[in-house]
């Protein structure tokens, strides 16, 4: 224990010492940084002020030179438009002596063809090229006070020449001619000029950070290289710099440890990213399998729909012919056994047609082709249309049918054929699985949320919890012995729930073995006429 306490004290002492060193190093670094920043700010401020003054002087000087050149061009254009050729020639010969840098002058027609030129100056080839370039610029800007041509080199002179041109207009408002002077770099001695598009006037590529100062009203700009900020170290700061370097070394050591930890965290993050990518790939593969399964299910449903549709045509013929025989429409049948057989054929065909219709409806729902057309239907009319089809079957089994809530239930906004099929399926199931002498109640009621419910309660054999888990599956039936004795495909409840969901509602079943069953159709407010959200006719939908 004593050894451990000594170790702890030593560790605490070393920690305090290292903390003091780190604090001192940080203070030295901050002091050095502050001195350097203050010196740099002062130097930068002075350099910026000096650069601004130099820039302002250069801009004023460039504008004065361009103004002098423009006045000369204006005077030459006036003389060329009004004076005789001798006066023009005299002014052309005198113009190079009026301003430095002018190597020659000329007058051309609107196409750039030189008509008159100064006696001394560049050769004709250069002047003609400058005139042609000036004509292109004048055609695009006939009202410009000054135009600038591309640089050219004389045949016997390596100096680049640039044309400053001035177009003038005739009395008809069209371009009458062009005057221009050929200048070299000495025209802007000490100034670096560029065109308005940033291209150098006398060659030379731009350097990084180059800016341009606009010259008011002229098609040229002044190239300005900003002053480069320099780091200034005041006298007596070198000891602080040395201390700062030592402290910086210590800080870099701490940073190295931190970077090592960060690299470990980065590697862990990369592993997590790889795991997430593999998980996404597995999910994508699973989704592809699910899509394939859905496609196979749709193909199966389309096949069912086509086959059942083809079976209904001959079945209708069988039903019609058997009914004709039973009614002896073409004369009496001598043997009563034939009548009995015809009746059995008709009953079997009717049962088979009912099964085929269920299969066809189920296939259409799975394929998303079942449509509903909601209209206003009263609760008594809906109940009557369903009871008319099952009352005879209930009387044969001595089962009492009762209704309630018809008066207080609001009118419904439903597809009458689809909802009638739902009620007939539920009532038929209730009658089949209710013993002789039982009772079935059909109840309509309004809901607090604006919807409605339709309940069918029987006193039948009921279902177990295991049966309730499968009864809504297509072809699913309860496992009871009595249920197995009844005819049916197991599609009734599945179709009923799908049709209820097409209306935006649902079908739920509550049951206890030997205590009866209650099937409840839940309709939303959109399926009740006059509700705030009336249900519009739906596009083909697939029930879950």
362-405 tens-digit pLDDT: 767 766 667 888 999 999 999 999 998 899 889 989 999 999 99
Q: How confident is the model at residue 534 (pLDDT cuts 50, 70, 90)?
A: very low
Section 266-281 average pLDDT: 88
Torsion of CA 65, 66, 67, 73, to 10 degrees: 120
Q: How far is CA 280 from CA 227, 283, 470, in A?
A: 55, 5, 33
Please give the C-alpha separations between residue 244 and each of 19, 234, 235, in angstroms, as whole numbers.
16, 15, 16
If pLDDT is split at 50, 70 and 90, which confidence band does 156 have?
Answer: low
Residue 235, pLDDT above cutoff 60: no
Confidence of residue 23 (pLDDT cuts 50, 70, 90): low
70-116 pLDDT, tens digit per residue, is: 888 888 888 888 889 898 888 888 888 878 889 899 999 999 898 99
Which of residues 178 and 23 earns the better pLDDT score?
178
Q: Tell me the domain boundaries of the chain.
A: 53-202+213-222, 373-527
- Copy the structure tokens of residue 188: 């802007």
The architecture CATH gives domain 373-527: 2-Layer Sandwich (3.30)
- In whole angstroms, what is the distance from residue 11 CA to residue 6 CA? 8
Local structure of residue 241 (DSSP, 8 states): H
Any alpha helices (H) in 433-491, and if so which ranges? Answer: 465-468, 481-485
CA-based nearest residue to 133, from 167, 156, 95: 167
Output the CATH code of domain 53-202+213-222: 3.30.450.20
| Structure letter (DSSP) for residue 194 | E
Alpha helices in 104-208 (DSSP H): 124-140
- Distance, in Å, from the CA atom of 104 to the CA atom of 93, rounded to the nearest integer, reads 8
pLDDT digits (tens, 9 = 90+) for 187-206: 888 788 888 777 788 766 66
Q: What is the mean pLDDT of the chain?
A: 80
In 411-491, which ranges are continuous DSSP H helix? 416-432, 465-468, 481-485
C-alpha radius of gyration, the chain, whole number:
51
Cα distance from N-terminal residue to C-terminal residue, the chain: 72
* pTM: predicted TM-score of the whole model, two decimal places: 0.41
> Does the pLDDT at position 538 exceed 50?
no
Looking at mean pLDDT, say which of 324-338, 355-369, 445-459 comes out highest: 445-459
pLDDT tens by residue, 80-89: 888 898 988 8
CA count, 13 A, side-chain hemisphere, 492: 20
For residue 270, name the pLDDT band (cuts at 50, 70, 90): confident
The pLDDT tens digits of the residues spanning 509-522 come to: 999 888 899 999 99
Closest CA to 489 of 352, 365, 308, 370: 352
């Amino acid at each position: 224990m004593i050894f451990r306490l000594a170790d702890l004290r030593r560790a605490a002492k070393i920690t305090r010492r290292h903390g003091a060193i780190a604090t001192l190093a940080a203070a030295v670094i901050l002091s050095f940084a502050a001195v350097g920043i203050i010196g740099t700010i002062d130097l930068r401020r002075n350099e910026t002020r000096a650069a601004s003054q130099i820039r302002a002087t250069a801009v004023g000087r460039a504008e004065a030179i361009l103004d002098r050149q423009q006045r000369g061009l204006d005077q030459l254009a006036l003389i060329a438009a009004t004076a005789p050729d001798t006066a023009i020639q005299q002014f052309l010969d005198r113009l190079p002596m009026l301003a430095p840098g002018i190597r020659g002058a000329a007058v051309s027609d609107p196409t750039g063809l030189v008509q008159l030129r100064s006696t001394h100056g560049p050769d004709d080839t250069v002047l003609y090229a400058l005139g042609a370039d000036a004509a292109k610029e004048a055609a695009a800007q006939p009202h410009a006070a000054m135009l600038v041509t591309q640089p050219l080199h004389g045949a016997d002179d390596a100096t680049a020449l640039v044309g400053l041109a001035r177009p003038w207009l005739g009395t008809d408002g069209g371009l009458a001619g062009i005057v221009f002077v050929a200048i070299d770099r000495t025209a802007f001695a000490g100034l670096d000029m560029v065109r308005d598009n940033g291209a150098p006037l006398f060659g030379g590529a731009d350097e990084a950070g180059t800016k341009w100062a606009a010259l008011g009203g002229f098609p040229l700009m002044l190239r300005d290289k900003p002053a480069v900020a320099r780091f200034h170290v005041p006298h007596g700061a070198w000891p602080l710099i040395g201390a700062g370097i030592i402290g910086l070394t210590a800080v870099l050591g701490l940073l190295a440890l931190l970077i090592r930890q960060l690299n470990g965290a980065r590697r862990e993050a990369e592993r997590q990213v790889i795991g997430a990518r593999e998980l996404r790939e597995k999910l994508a593969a699973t989704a592809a399998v699910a899509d394939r399964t859905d496609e196979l299910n749709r193909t199966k449903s389309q096949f069912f729909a086509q086959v059942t549709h083809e079976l209904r045509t001959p079945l209708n013929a069988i039903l019609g012919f058997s009914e004709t025989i039973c009614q002896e429409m073409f004369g009496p049948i001598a043997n009563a056994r034939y009548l009995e057989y015809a009746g059995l054929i008709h009953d079997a065909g009717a049962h088979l047609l009912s099964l085929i219709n269920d299969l066809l409806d189920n296939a259409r729902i799975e394929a998303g082709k079942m449509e509903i057309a909601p209209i206003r239907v009263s609760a008594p009319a809906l109940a009557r249309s369903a009871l008319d089809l099952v009352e005879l079957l209930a009387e044969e089994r001595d089962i009492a049918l009762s209704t309630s809530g018809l008066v207080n239930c609001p009118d419904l906004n439903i597809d009458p054929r689809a909802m009638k099929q739902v009620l007939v399926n539920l009532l038929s199931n209730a009658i089949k699985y209710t013993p002789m002498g039982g009772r079935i109640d059909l109840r309509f009621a309004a809901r607090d949320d604006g919807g409605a419910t339709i309940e069918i309660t029987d006193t039948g054999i009921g279902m177990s919890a295991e049966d309730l888990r499968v009864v809504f599956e297509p072809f699913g039936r309860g496992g009871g012995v009595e249920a197995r004795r009844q005819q049916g495909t197991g599609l009734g409840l599945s179709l009923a729930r799908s049709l209820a969901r097409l209306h935006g509602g649902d079908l739920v079943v509550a049951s206890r073995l030997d205590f009866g069953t209650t099937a409840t159709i839940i309709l939303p407010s959109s399926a009740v006429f006059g509700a705030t959200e009336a249900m519009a006719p739906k596009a083909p939908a697939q029930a879950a």
